[in-house]
Chain A
Amino acid sequence: MDEQFDNIARYLDGEQVELTDEQRRLADEIRADEASLSGALDVEMPARAMRNVRRRIADELAPPRGRRRLFYRVATSAAIAASILLATALLLRLPNPTQTNPETRHGALAAVEFIEPLQDQTDIEIALLAGDVERLEQEVLLDSGPEVEEMELESLERDVDEFWLDQAAPMEVLLPSS
């Protein structure tokens, strides 16, 4: 029986297959049933749906803009500022004068004596600036909170979608096991 159905399927797919009268009758019946359904199955697509889908495509193709762009810019600036502060702090703390060569120790001590008050002042400024950077980051995160969450959610959904696309088992899971 399977072989008969195979033949009919190949015939209906346009292959040159010899069919028996019974097979040809079945093939004609399937053709007629499909033809009678064709008009009835079609559905009018609402214009609103078409517009919405086109808008989603345009959004997907468009580069990041508006608040997202502002967020990226502020976040980048904050990261650069933090890096500069860190580099400055490291520079001011090196070298350690107790480990320097005795010949240069006097000069180094003099430099340290000169730098120390400045360093105390710098530490305070670093702390204040770091506080500002942190506050700024918090504000940006709070301001764009839902958007950030949305982006993360979108990213997760995309990952899941792509996983299904790649890993989806063949459709035989829909077929009841015989």
Chain B
Amino acid sequence: MELQPLREIIAAAQSGSAEAYDVLMDRYGRRLYGYFFRATGNHHDAEDLLGELMLRLVRRLESYDDRGRFEPWLFRIAANMVRDRIRRVKTRPRMASLSVEEDGGLSLGDKLAGDGPRVDANALAAELSEDLQRALNRLDDATRQMILLRHFGEMSFKEIANVFNAPLGTVLARVHRGLKSLREIMGSSDNG
């Protein structure tokens, strides 16, 4: 089945079509969720941020003028939201919660449930995912965001440079260093 052109979907959404927003969710929901999850480290925040982003889209899509690419516009909003969330978390004392997950996406409640060691393929994938999350958390905020925007937002270096208002070379150098760090951290965790 041929995909409906994005321009038509956006026009329908701009006129308030709920179906059009469903299509946008189908197209971008998972990637945005992945971006938010990797940027914040927990599912609760990822869902919350995705919900907030979609509400902003409902309220702000009218202002999207279709002159540029839709995805960078969308992920730029997402990046601003993550930045605000990080800033807020840094200035707010942290509280333990049974529902809010720690790094790796496991909530304290999940951990207290004590399922014991998991040995299936899903468990191994989850473990790898948690290792990767810990490695990402060790990067500075900007480098982590740049790497995530490259992957989830499929953004060019030039687009990321615009988001960060940074020189193109600086973005590339940071992404390169960040990827190298991730490779080293992941490599050392594989060996250990």
Interchain nearest-CB distance for B118 vs A (Å): 16
Given A13-B156, A40-B128, A61-B16 in contact, is the A172-B164 Cβ separation under 8 Å? Answer: yes
A69→B58 CA distance, assembly (Å): 21
B18, B25, B140: the one within 8 Å of A50 (CB) = B25
A88→B51 CA distance, assembly (Å): 50
Residue of A with least CB distance to B180? A33
Q: Are A13 and B158 in contact (CB under 8 A)?
A: yes
Interchain nearest-CB distance for A29 vs B (Å): 8
A26→B152 CA distance, assembly (Å): 22
Which A residues between 22 and 52 are near B, CB-CB below 8 angstroms? Answer: 26, 29-30, 33-34, 36-38, 40-43, 45-46, 49-50, 52
Count of chain B residues with a beta carbon within 8 Å of a chain A beta carbon: 62
Q: Are A53 and B156 in contact (CB under 8 A)?
A: no
Q: Are A5 and B46 in contact (CB under 8 A)?
A: no
Let me know if B27 is at the binding interface, CB within 8 A: no
Most buried by B among A26, A34, A41, A165: A41
Q: What is the predominant secondary structure among interface residues of chain A facing chain B?
A: helix
Q: Are B169 and A1 in contact (CB under 8 A)?
A: yes
Let me know if A114 is at the binding interface, CB within 8 A: no
> Shortest 6 CB-CB distances between A and B: which pairs?
A5-B169, A170-B165, A33-B179, A174-B142, A9-B157, A2-B169
In the complex, what residues of B have CB within 8 A of residue A46's CB?
Answer: 43, 47
Residue contacts A-B, CB under 8 angstroms, 16 given: A9-B168, A9-B172, A33-B176, A33-B183, A36-B183, A38-B151, A43-B33, A43-B38, A49-B50, A50-B29, A56-B51, A165-B60, A168-B80, A170-B164, A170-B165, A171-B145
